[in-house]
Amino acid sequence: MVSKRIQKALLGNSAIRAMFVEGKAMAEKYGAENVYDFSLGNPATPAPAALNDSIRDLLDEADKKGAAGSLELHGYMENAGYKDVREAIAANLNKRFGTAFDDHNIVMTVGAAGGLNIIFKTVLDPGDEVIVFAPFFGEYRQYAANFDSEIVTVNPDLKTFLPDLNDFEAKITEKTKALIVNTPNNPTGVIYKPETMEAIASILEKKQKEFGHDIYLVSDEPYRELVYDGNKEDFLTKYYKNTIVGYSFSKSLSLPGERIGYVVVPNEASDAEELIRGIEISNRTLGFVNAPSLIQKAVARCLDEKTDVSFYDENRTMLYDGLTELGFTCIKPEGAFYLWVKSPVDNEEEFVEEGKKLHLLMVKGSAFGCGGFVRLAYCVSHETVKNSLRAFEKLAQVYGLK
């Protein structure tokens, strides 16, 4: 028999992954061109050519060095990752955001998910609470539960989908150890602007003094570079000193399957050196050991490369304009590649099931801690978005929309 922890996890298995699997089955049955799968945030743009070139160059360079080169490229390194890779990332962040990091502030990780788990292992004790702003990436529940902690959900302002800051302040307790901030946000695409971050930081500072212990702001940043309409990339360490950043190259370089990212701990954070060492140890003891060696070296050569944001922007505009013209209510995304759509009926699962009849795959909002909405991941081909609008038109008719 599996453990009680896993039994519980099985009951809450990812609705996103379940929908993705269902979409694969539908595509085999009806043809991929006749299924409009908006379930999974799997980038639709290819990795930059420079990334593939870097991998080839690294392999060629290793071959020229013979056995020693191969051992160097594919072997173990410090748990934090290659020093030269961490130096390159620190320098890139300093250039872009005016920070003052060096290699010791960076720990290479197995994606953002691995990063969040090693952060949580380092800072959480059983019974601690992690605050999340609804709607939120559902896996946060499992990441906290891995370390016998609970998430506490803060309600959103349903007009803006920014956090209700009064609710936030009220829900910080003696047990609060961390807050997760995800901007641009999955699933809404909303960006937390400087005034919002300053207000969040002010509340955290006040509560740290009230309760007499550190509260960490964990910034989950896989969509940092995916911004539209003149919005700027931001880096949250400037707002609050106890900020720890988890980053992934999954979206910015279209590398989700490579599982590569990093954690940043600024020197200003309380007990920064202990935090860094703890995160390095957690990398090892959770079994990651270190981030994959080849892809570490490859991304370090491509830090100024970007995915084609204009591709997603075209999908964003086509889908948002198309659905609003059909009478659906949507939050216009400012970043990431998700559209947050209000269900025409209170029970959004009914809406999701109705969409399946038309081969439309949407993810229920309750999977993100916010029922009554659905998420559409528009990181798909232009053709999929364009062709899906005919199905959405039929769905709008089912509910008597415009």
Look at residue 13 in the predicted model and tell me its pLDDT. 62
Q: What is the pLDDT of residues 204-244, one digit of tens each?
A: 999 999 999 999 999 999 999 999 999 999 999 999 999 99
Q: What is the mean pLDDT of residues 140-152?
A: 96
For residues 114 and 260, the answer to whether their CB atoms sit within 8 Å is no
Largest CA distance in the chain: 69
Q: What is the pLDDT of residues 166-188, one digit of tens each?
A: 999 999 999 999 999 999 999 99
Tokens coding 187: 């699933």
Q: Assign domain 4-47+307-399 to its CATH superfamily.
A: Aspartate Aminotransferase, domain 1 (3.90.1150.10)
Tell me the pLDDT band of 14, cut-offs 50, 70 and 90. low
Q: What angle do CA 272, 273, 276 make, to 5 degrees?
A: 85
Tell me the pLDDT band of 68, cut-offs 50, 70 and 90. confident
Look at residue 117 in the predicted model and tell me its pLDDT. 98
Mark 47-63 as b/e (b = at least 16 C-beta within 10 Å).
bbeebeebbeebbeebe
Mark 261-280 as b/e (b = at least 16 C-beta within 10 Å).
bbbbbbeebeebeebbbbbb
Tell me the pLDDT band of 383, cut-offs 50, 70 and 90. very high
Decide: pTM greater than 0.85: yes
Q: What is the pLDDT of residues 269-300, one digit of tens each?
A: 999 999 999 999 999 999 999 999 999 999 99
Report the distance separating Cα 360 and Cα 26, nearest Å.
10
The alpha-carbon radius of gyration of the chain (Å, integer) is 21
Look at residue 157 in the predicted model and tell me its pLDDT. 96
Tell me the pLDDT band of 12, cut-offs 50, 70 and 90. low
For residues 124 and 177, the answer to whether their CB atoms sit within 8 Å is yes
Look at residue 20 in the predicted model and tell me its pLDDT. 72
37 three-class SS = strand
CA 120 to chain centroid? 16
Q: What is the pLDDT of residues 340-373, one digit of tens each?
A: 999 999 999 999 999 999 999 999 999 999 999 9
CATH assignment of 51-301? 3.40.640.10
Query: Within 13 A of 288's CA, how many CA atoms are on the CB side?
Result: 31
Residue 29: pLDDT over 90: no
Nearest to 336 by CA among 305, 303, 304, 313: 313
Q: What is the mean pLDDT of residues 332-347?
A: 97
Mark 100-129 as b/e (b = at least 16 C-beta within 10 Å).
ebebbbbbbbbbbbbbbbbbbbbbbeeebb
Look at residue 27 in the predicted model and tell me its pLDDT. 76
Report the distance separating Cα 352 and Cα 107, nearest Å.
40
List, in sequence order, every residue forming a beta bridge with 151; answer none if it has no partner.
Answer: 130
> Between 79 and 4, whose confidence is greater?
79
Q: What residue spans define the domains of the chain?
A: 4-47+307-399, 51-301
Look at residue 5 in the predicted model and tell me its pLDDT. 78
State the amino acid at position 161 in one-letter form. F
Q: What angle do CA 155, 335, 216 make, to 5 degrees?
A: 50
Nearest to 108 by CA among 76, 85, 88, 140: 85
Q: What is the pLDDT of residues 233-263, one digit of tens each?
A: 999 999 999 999 999 999 999 999 999 999 9
For residues 260 and 296, the answer to whether their CB atoms sit within 8 Å is yes
